[in-house]
Amino acid sequence: MVISPQNLGLKLTLALVSMGLSASIADATPTCSKQFEPFMGEMLKDLPAYINRVNTQARNAQNSVLLAAKADYQPLQLPTASGNVVSQDDEVEQVFFTTLLRRFSDRQIVYQQEHHWLFMAPSDRGWEFVQMYSILSPYPVASLSTAPRNSSEGSVATAIRNWLKNCHYQSSR
């Protein structure tokens, strides 16, 4: 028998039902709304699990993300080096969100928050990752303790790309 996502999902659903659990595979797969705000709400709900999976695969399990906070959709004006404001591409959406991290370090637990500035663009497949910047700060103090850095290749960005792959796959079925 060839194992496909469909019959693997069926077997997993049957196993969950036999254990008395009512969750289904459909409940665990992302939905890809064409509207940006509902799309981001769905992604942020799933994002901590995706980030933790990326960290575990990278053997960085001493860091875990506990939550991704509600998004702020108010875009910032983008200045150029000369001080003029860059005209924003109408297709690119900006969103700000925060993740709460728990790090295990020298027998103590340290909480930090990471503030993310994410750029997404629509495509024929749905939303696509463009770029991301992040700032790390202590928690619960909300002071910004690091300069913004391009985090487009970090664990959060990788998790977003993984979520998007699942989202695009579900949309194409």
> What 8-state DSSP symbol labels residue 71?
P
Per-residue model confidence (pLDDT) at position 42: 92
Q: Enter the tokens of residue 107.
A: 């027998």
Q: Which is more confident, 1 or 115? A: 115
Per-residue model confidence (pLDDT) at position 173: 58
Bridge-based pairing of strands 93-105 and 108-123 is antiparallel
Give the span between the Cα atoms of 66 and 111, in whole angstroms: 10
Average pLDDT score over the chain:
76
pLDDT one-digit tens code per residue, 83-115: 544 445 568 899 999 999 998 877 888 898 999
As a whole number, mean pLDDT of residues 66-71 equals 86
Q: Is the pLDDT of residue 82 over 90?
A: no
Shortest CA distance to 72 belongs to which of 129, 21, 115? 115
pTM higher than 0.85 for the full model?
A: no
As a whole number, mean pLDDT of residues 70-79 equals 78
Confidence band for 117, pLDDT divided at 50, 70 and 90: very high
Per-residue model confidence (pLDDT) at position 125: 83
Q: Enter the tokens of residue 148.
A: 């913004």
Q: Is the pLDDT of residue 14 over 80?
A: no
Q: Is the pLDDT of residue 162 over 90?
A: yes
